[in-house]
Amino acid sequence: MKTMLRYDFTYLWKTFKFVVMGGLGFFLAGLSVLTARFMPEIFRLAFADSDIIIDLPDPTVMDAYEQFFSNFTDLFVIVVIFLMVAFFTRDETAGHAPLIFSKPLRRRNYILTKSLWMVVTVFATLLMSGLVFMYYTAFLFDGLDMARFMLSLFALGVFIIFLLHIALFFTVWTKTYLAPVGLTFLVFLLVFSLLNMLQRGVFRFFPNQLMRYPLRYLQGEVSGGVLWATIAIAIGLSAGLLLATIAKFEEKELA
């Protein structure tokens, strides 16, 4: 396990994956606060020479939250899917697999390591981005609720991890990079969007809801209990996907 942890860390470090994810998180976090704070001014400047009168209410901390979660559930998730599927499939697509798996390394550990680094990278990036966001928000807005924001951030992290475990599961069924990327986007854009229309009964606890619950929780529209239950279900399903991935990968032909 230690060998694979170091091997994967070297890949993430030397191919600048940490830097790209960290940089993107930092950028989106800062951008979210600034966009929310200065949106009225931006609009006023944009329409300064026209007769249109722009009268927007003063932005609040809720606008900052909204910008943050909208940026992270759209742009950040898309970039992370591309980066992480490359991380999962690289050894096979680049032909490293025969050299790696001809050594006494357990396939189970190989998948566990990928999952572990994915969790660490996503949560570390979100934590850093959250800190950047809170720092600027505390300066520019009143009423920042750090505890609720951190729980929302955690819920977002769990959602991204769930989505990436779906991607990881797809990678063991194919031998290419594009197939799991395409299938994951299909789930993300189509299946989740359809499920998002269903807001009643058990559908309230489906992991796809974590796309919107973090913000709705901050807005007071979703209770802590529902959020925690949805988080728990997403973690459970991620664990199930991980076990299914390992079982499939144990039998996968790698040549």
Partner 1 sequence: MSLLSIKGLTKDFKALRALDDLSLEVQRNEVYGFIGRNGAGKTTTINIIMGLLHGDGGEIYLDGEPVDMHDINHRRRIGYVPDVPAFPRYLKAREFLRFACEAHEIDPTQHEARIETVLRDVGLEAGDRKIGTFSRGMKQRLAIAQALVHKPELLIMDEPTSALDPIGRKDVLDIIARLKNTMTVFYSTHILDDAQKVCDRIGLIDRGKLLLEASVASIMRRDKTFRYYVEAENDADDVLKKLKAIDLVREAFIEAHGITFEVASQEALKDVVRTLVDADVSMTTLTRKAKTLEDVFIEVLDENHA
**Positions in the binding site for partner 1 (CB under 8 A):** 2-3, 6-7, 10-11, 14-15, 94-106, 250-251, 253-255
Copy the structure tokens of residue 113: 């390591």
Q: Which is nearer to partner 1, 41 or 250 (CB)?
A: 250
> Which region holds residue 143: left if phi is over 0, alpha if psi is between -120 and 50, else beta?
left
We find the least distance from the C-beta atom of residue 88 to partner 1, in angstroms, to be 15
We find the least distance from the C-beta atom of residue 1 to partner 1, in angstroms, to be 11
Q: Which is nearer to partner 1, 2 or 200 (CB)?
A: 2
Copy the structure tokens of residue 72: 């992270």
Torsion of CA 16, 241, 92, 83, to 10 degrees: -20
Q: How far apart are CA 239 and CA 247, in angstroms?
A: 12
Q: Which is nearer to partner 1, 44 or 108 (CB)?
A: 108
Q: Which is nearer to partner 1, 63 or 92 (CB)?
A: 92
Residue-by-residue DSSP string for 16-35 = THHHHHHHHHHHHHHHHHHH
Q: Which is nearer to partner 1, 107 or 212 (CB)?
A: 107
The sign one gets for the Cα dihedral 239, 240, 245, 248 is positive
We find the least distance from the C-beta atom of residue 188 to partner 1, in angstroms, to be 29
Q: How far apart are CA 231 and CA 205, in angstroms?
A: 8
We find the least distance from the C-beta atom of residue 108 to partner 1, in angstroms, to be 10
We find the least distance from the C-beta atom of residue 237 to partner 1, in angstroms, to be 26
Q: Which is nearer to partner 1, 96 or 186 (CB)?
A: 96
CA within 13 Å, CB half, 235: 12
Q: How far apart are CA 168 and CA 87, in angstroms?
A: 10
We find the least distance from the C-beta atom of residue 130 to partner 1, in angstroms, to be 30
Q: How far apart are CA 108 and CA 250, in angstroms?
A: 7
